[in-house]
Structure 1
Amino acid sequence: MDEESRGRTIENYDIQRLLECLPHRYPLLLVDRIVEARGDEYCVGVKNVTYNEPQFQGHFPGKPVMPGVLLIEGMAQTAGALCVASQSVGAKPSVVYLMTVDKAKFRKPVTPGDQVRYQMTRIAHRRNIWWYRGEAMVDGVLVCEATVSAMVVTE
């Protein structure tokens, strides 16, 4: 990405763009859309939580709750799509790997019918490694937070 476009706001990554950026597919694609992005600095991803997702068969029958680890994975995928999209145009396809999860806190259960908004803010970027601070929000309420790092590998 050139210097001029690095700071611009991209209004939307639809599902097609996410599929180009991420290797994840159903049932492990945990972000449906990126509704706001500024270069590799900041983005907001959206996940619509539905009852027919496979984790709800066992977590927990009769009282479905989104597993916290999947909220963290959704944060990582949202940031990962941003990292891959920020690579130079014409670069070889990239894969992004989650490296660390720090300071994870789960504040409130997420259940079917909720829309999770992953707000990811870049903390640092060195070579092929990015660090992001993430907050998962439902209806403006913080439900999960963590710091994640990821490494982009060119294949």
Structure 2
Amino acid sequence: MLTIKEIEEIIPHRHPFLLIDRVEELEPGVKAIGYKSITYNEPYFLGHFPEEPVMPGVLQIEALAQTGAVAILSKKENKGKTAYFGGINQARFKRKVVPGDTLKLDCQIVKQKGSIGVGRAVATVDGEIAVSAELTFVVG
């Protein structure tokens, strides 16, 4: 299991934009499974939405992308590099993510050629799909 400090050694994201609390499973270049505990104190809840706090869908996608970045950047040849978005395809939002939820983030790297690759990503809460997407990345 990777802690926040160990995650920070792999990806450049920092608080408040680091959206992974821990990584439970890691196979460098192949897959990563991480978690984000959603608390009422998240900065985005001040405006999204004050009467009904909901984690923005784009941040759910970002959390999945960061999980995929841990998988791809943990390969020796990618140490110290950054993974950038190249595209988001087939994104589907199935349920709201709210304070008290724990988001399970699963990203499988399904294709890579050179510096460009694709991850298949799914975030769940208590086994229920919150969001799924195909994420294209560029390592630079």
**TM-score range normalised by the length of the shorter chain:** over 0.9
Structure 2 CA distance for aligned equivalents of residues 92 and 47 of structure 1: 23
Contact 2:10–2:79 under 8 Å retained in 1: no
SS at match of 1:31: coil
Partner of 2:126: 139
Correspondence 1:125-136 to 2 at 5 A: 125-136=112-123
Deviation track 1:100-137 (CA, whole Å, cap 9, x = no partner) reads: 10000000000011000011111101111221000000
Partner of 1:55: 44
SS at match of 1:93: coil
Runs of 4+ displaced beyond 2 Å: none
Structure 2 CA distance for aligned equivalents of residues 61 and 147 of structure 1: 30
Structure 1 residues 92 and 86: alpha-carbon distance in aligned structure 2, compared to 1, 3 A threshold: closer
Output the amino acid matched with 1:75. L
Partner of 1:113: 100
Listed as ranges, the gaps of 5+ residues in structure 2 are none
Deviation track 1:10-41 (CA, whole Å, cap 9, x = no partner) reads: xx221111101111111111111110112321
Pairing partner for 2:4 from 8, 15, 23:
15
Contact 1:83–1:130 under 8 Å retained in 2: no
Structure 2 CA distance for aligned equivalents of residues 39 and 151 of structure 1: 16
Q: Percent identity?
A: 36
Partner of 2:76: 87
Bigger mean CA offset, 129-138 vs 36-45: 36-45
Contact 1:107–1:143 under 8 Å retained in 2: yes
Q: TM-score, normalised by structure 1?
A: 0.86
Q: TM-score, normalised by structure 2?
A: 0.95
Structure 2 CA distance for aligned equivalents of residues 51 and 38 of structure 1: 32
Aligned residues: 140
Pairing partner for 1:101 from 88, 105, 117:
88
Q: RMSD of the alignment, in Å?
A: 1.2
Establish whether residue 44 from structure 1 lines up as the match of residue 53 from structure 2. no
